[in-house]
Structure 1
Amino acid sequence: MTYSARPHARIREALAGAAARGVRVDVVVETLQGAGGAIGGAEPAAAFSGLDGVALWHWPAGLREQQTAKAHAKLAAADRRVLLVSSANLTQSGVSDNIEAGLLVRGGEAPRRIAEHVAELRTRGVLAPLYGGGHR
């Protein structure tokens, strides 16, 4: 889950590799419309274009109770056993240039609970497939 994203070769390679191994890969990303002008440039989801097996999700702006609400979370969960919560967006500056902070959690309840929470947001329709895609 990321607020902003730009194509980053190592992230794209890692996601493509996971999908090729049969791993379910869901990426939740903010949209330009949802960001309300706070993000410039290309649509953040374009960072993941052309990656087979990667499902893109977003929080539709029309479903937000507050017009200024943002999908601002930056986290990653793997296998319900590992969780990264970070201030970094999936951009070159966020990954390589800026001073960012993050917390990596291995094991325990947090990775499972976050994965279940995101899955519940998809099930309830709070998150919707972007471009009509998505795993079912």
Structure 2
Amino acid sequence: MSRSGGDDLSEPAEPSAHTAHVPPARSGASSHRLPRLLAALCDRLPEDRIAVLEQLLDTVNGPDDPLLSRFSAAQSAAGLAQQLSEVIRVWRIEVPGMTGAGLALALATARSFPRPGPAQVAVSGPMSASIPARLTSGVALEVIRSADTSLLIASFAAHGAENVVTEIRRAVDRGVRVDLLLEESTQAAAAFAALPDHVHIWHRVGSSGVLHAKLIAADRHTALLGSANLTDRALSDNIELGVVLRDPHLLDPLVDHFHWLLAPENNVMRLA
């Protein structure tokens, strides 16, 4: 992406409190807060939203640019306006001479370094500003879209949720294997009747218990676990809580466990 701005960061002579400089690399020993705040934004926002923020930063002159404060105030996601306001405040304190283009470059740099993603909170129902969180319905779609080879989806109940069904169909169209683990007593499979026949629908063997898990796992890189079933109300209106995991050390055994459940020799699940 193009970068603009007039600061010459190559002039090291005679530094002053107002000389523009790039914040130091992320480090636990660093006394600067701005790099950590930028990394937190990268952890929270999907890549397309980060790109929008970078494009905005390219157009502003510094932390006191009115365009930036208006953009921050307009954010509706819970806690995001406060998070951006804190970035602006610390930018003003730590590197007041840095242009928006410089901060955009720092943000792009933080985004470019691969690292295990942190856990992320997903909620349904009313959203407060107490913790950074995203609505379960949007997170579920994002996880499904991220699958390259496989999707493991488990739900006790399912009805409506047409956007979820549409995204699963798109995953199938791009060659993703889809395994749906559904509770038979709730007739959850009916919600997915429009999907192709080669989508694998599984029910529990026997009647000693029910399938009550709620899971969407994309390959082995991302999984949404929570209380929400795949229903319209659970994904948006009910008070539900979930977490998105992106740590392969957690996801590998989780996916392996569900593969074990599906193995015919273990007689736990059967194809519908």
Q: TM-score scaled by structure 1?
A: 0.80
Q: Distance in 1 between matches of 2:216 and 2:229?
A: 11
Q: Distance in 1 between matches of 2:201 and 2:160?
A: 14
Q: Distance in 1 between matches of 2:180 and 2:250?
A: 19
Higher RCO (CA-CA < 8 Å; seq separation 6+): 1
C-alpha RMSD of matched pairs (Å): 1.3
Indicate whether 1:88 and 2:228 are aligned: yes
Alignment of 1:101-112 (within 5 A): 101-112=241-252
Segments of structure 2 that go 5 or more residues without pairing to the other structure are 1-153
What is the deviation of 1:125?
2.7
Q: How many residues align?
A: 116
Secondary structure of the corresponding residue to residue 157 of structure 2: coil
Secondary structure of the corresponding residue to residue 180 of structure 2: strand
The residue type paired with residue 20 of structure 1 is D
Structure number with bigger Rg: 2
1:35 corresponding residue in structure 2: none
1:12 corresponding residue in structure 2: 165
1:55 corresponding residue in structure 2: 200
Secondary structure of the corresponding residue to residue 94 of structure 1: helix
2:267 corresponding residue in structure 1: 125
2:45 corresponding residue in structure 1: none
Deviating 4+ runs (over 6 angstroms) = none
Indicate whether 1:23 and 2:176 are aligned: yes
* % identity of equivalent residues: 36
CA contact (8 A) 1:5 1:44 kept: yes
CA contact (8 A) 1:7 1:48 kept: no
Higher helix share: 2
> Cα deviations across residues 51-108 of structure 1 (Å, max 9, x unaligned)?
0142100112x2x4x3xx2211111111111111110000011111111100100122
The residue type paired with residue 83 of structure 1 is A
Alignment of 1:61-72 (within 5 A): 62=206, 64=207, 66=208, 69-72=209-212
Q: Distance in 1 between matches of 2:255 and 2:160?
A: 24
CA contact (8 A) 2:220 2:248 kept: no
Q: Distance in 2 between matches of 1:19 and 1:114?
A: 22
Q: Distance in 2 between matches of 1:119 and 1:108?
A: 16
What is the deviation of 1:115?
1.3
The residue type paired with residue 104 of structure 1 is V
Secondary structure of the corresponding residue to residue 98 of structure 1: coil
Segments of structure 1 that go 5 or more residues without pairing to the other structure are 33-38, 131-136
2:237 corresponding residue in structure 1: 97
Secondary structure of the corresponding residue to residue 202 of structure 2: strand
Secondary structure of the corresponding residue to residue 103 of structure 1: strand
